[in-house]
Structure 1
Amino acid sequence: MENKPKIIISSTDLAEIERQLEERKLPAELVDALEEELARAKILPNKEMPNDVVVIGSQVKFKVLETDMTFTKTLCLPEDISKYDDGISVFAPIGSAIIGLSTGQRINWQVQRSLQTVEVVWVTQ
């Protein structure tokens, strides 16, 4: 079994993700994967969240380790993607992989891919 990094989710992000999971018709495999991530997360009030943890509304620089390519994306809710030039939905595979990660953590993502967070900047709180 794969060792997954410890993640931290804000109570506000958790509530919003759970609300949207109930309301949206998302593919079962995406819902299952995201719920698995949420189930293993440590949940903290917003005011206790470390500022190097990926939350909804944070801009994340991450590297795909197999290609050494670096990307910068702002994690957001699907309806907010157009607000950002670099927006990525928390329901996209990469979005659900990076939420809750701290700077420097690695996670396997999709088939034969792993990524590492390089930097986290909170855009909104």
Structure 2
Amino acid sequence: MRKPGIVVNKSDHARLLQLANGLLDRKPDMAEELLSELERARVVERGEMLQTTVQMGSTIEYQNQDGQIRTLTLVYPADADIAQGKVSILTPVGTAVLGLRAGQTMEWVAADGRSSTLTVVSVQAPQTDAVQ
């Protein structure tokens, strides 16, 4: 499956590049996956972001390949809390959803090595512009 085009706002892109580059020595696989996604992203100003594009702080509903609908909020690692549905950008699913729009499908590899697909059903923009 060909990866869909993604869009990332300029401030998220800069912060995520810094995060990924800081992890290259300690967690190279994780860092490389995020860097790969950032490299292929179209970078735009925050004001140009579509409300239906997954960015840091977005809450999304997605359908997995088994047809189950799940919800997550995409956050930076320090804010991750799986019990509250706050998923780190550094998880495989977190990296996979970055920059996607509602209706797009993405193939990704889970932490256990299994290949999976997900389709973004809906995207709710971050609650505030003060996204950490």
> Any runs of at least 4 consecutive aligned residues in structure 1 with deviations exceeding 6 A, and if so which?
none
For each residue in 1:26-47, what CA deviation from the matched residue of structure 2 results, as whole angstroms up to 9, or x when unmatched? 4211111111111111000001
Give the alignment's TM-score, normalised by structure 1. 0.90
For each residue in 1:53-76, what CA deviation from the matched residue of structure 2 results, as whole angstroms up to 9, or x when unmatched? 0000000101112x1111100000
Instruction: Tell me how far apart the structure 1 counterparts of residues 9 and 117 of structure 2 sit (CA, whole Å).
Output: 24
Give the alignment's TM-score, normalised by structure 2. 0.85
Q: Corresponding residue for 2:116?
A: 113
The Cα RMSD (Å) is 1.5
Q: Corresponding residue for 1:87?
A: 86
In the alignment, residue 38 of structure 2 is paired with which amino acid? L
State the identity %. Answer: 27
SS of residue matched to 1:34: helix
SS of residue matched to 1:51: coil
SS of residue matched to 2:3: coil
Give ranges in structure 2 of 5+ residues lacking alignment: none
Instruction: Tell me how far apart the structure 2 counterparts of residues 100 and 44 of structure 1 sit (CA, whole Å).
Output: 11
Q: Corresponding residue for 2:18?
A: 19
Give ranges in structure 1 of 5+ residues lacking alignment: none
Instruction: Tell me how far apart the structure 1 counterparts of residues 26 and 58 of structure 2 sit (CA, whole Å).
Output: 23
Aligned-pair CA distance for 1:10: 0.5
Aligned-pair CA distance for 1:112: 2.8
Say whether the 8 Å CA contact 2:20–2:35 is kept in structure 1.
Answer: no
Say whether the 8 Å CA contact 2:17–2:38 is kept in structure 1.
Answer: no
SS of residue matched to 2:121: strand
Instruction: Tell me how far apart the structure 2 counterparts of residues 21 and 86 of structure 1 sit (CA, whole Å).
Output: 22
